[in-house]
Amino acid sequence: MRGLFDLTGKTALITGSSKGIGKAIATEMARQGAQVVISSRKEDACQAVADEINAELEGQAGGAIVIAAHIGHKEELQRLVDETRAALGKIDILVCNAAVNPYYGPMKDMPDSAFEKILSINIQSNHWLMHMVLPEMVERRDGSIIIVSSIGGLRGNEVIGAYCISKAADLQMVRNLSCEYGPHNVRVNAISPGLVRTDFARALWENPEILDKRTQFDPLRRIAEPREIAGAAVYLASDAGSFTTGQNIVVDGGATIS
């Protein structure tokens, strides 16, 4: 009997999976039996992650392959999807994890180029990629799409405003697409992490004083590790989450309720 969290026989495509949260999600999905595609701009970084996963799971159901791609280019995303299908036959699970934030400061001082990059990479690229994968999920009447958003999409912020706007837009995209594709048994959900120990958030945790200030009012009083976000993704991708769609799972140590 398959367990609720078993992903054996599933293919998962995960963007931004050469490090941080994306790597943790890919690793945990592979441990649950999925064949995962490690993807980011740098092929050597992706290969190191795939090698690590394959060495751990040698002889078991799960495994990893590498298909590097720049999510900011539509043709690169199409190649990513095409090569995934050519190598693994199908895409059962899509995790849109890659994102950027090239600007830190008040929005009035933000260059137009930075604003456009954030909206393009964090919203439009997800829109493109999801609609490249959705037709086969509709045909099979089965599929799970997950966007890694942020608690920044749930509240205001004085220094990463455009990033927060993009993450709020991702949450609305999840709601819209879950309504459109729910009748086809395709589920679309989001995960909103709080502060996680990743390179992306390094400025907020590498200084102990800044970290203490940032977490002092959070119920758990600490930063998350990437693996603590991955469990929510496994849930949403597996039979355990088969009746969950259009939702945003907040994994933040209680930051948004305190």
Residue with tokens 């933000």: 110
Choose, from 103, 163, 181, 235, the residue flagged as catalytic. 163
Tell me the three state secondary structure of residue 192. Answer: strand
Measured CA to CA, the distance from residue 130 to residue 102 in angstroms comes to 24
> Rg (Cα) of the chain, in Å, rounded?
18
Measured CA to CA, the distance from residue 160 to residue 190 in angstroms comes to 20
> What is the side-by-side strand order in the sheet with 143-148?
63-66, 35-39, 11-15, 93-96, 143-148, 186-193, 248-251
- DSSP for 28-43? HHHHTT-EEEEESS-H
Tell me the three state secondary structure of residue 9. Answer: coil
Measured CA to CA, the distance from residue 79 to residue 74 in angstroms comes to 9
Residue type, 151: I
Active site residue 163: yes
Q: For strand 63-66 and strand 248-251, is the pairing parallel, antiparallel, or unpaired?
A: unpaired
* Pair of tokens at residue 187: 């589920």
Note the residue count of the chain. Answer: 258
Kindly list the catalytic residues. 163
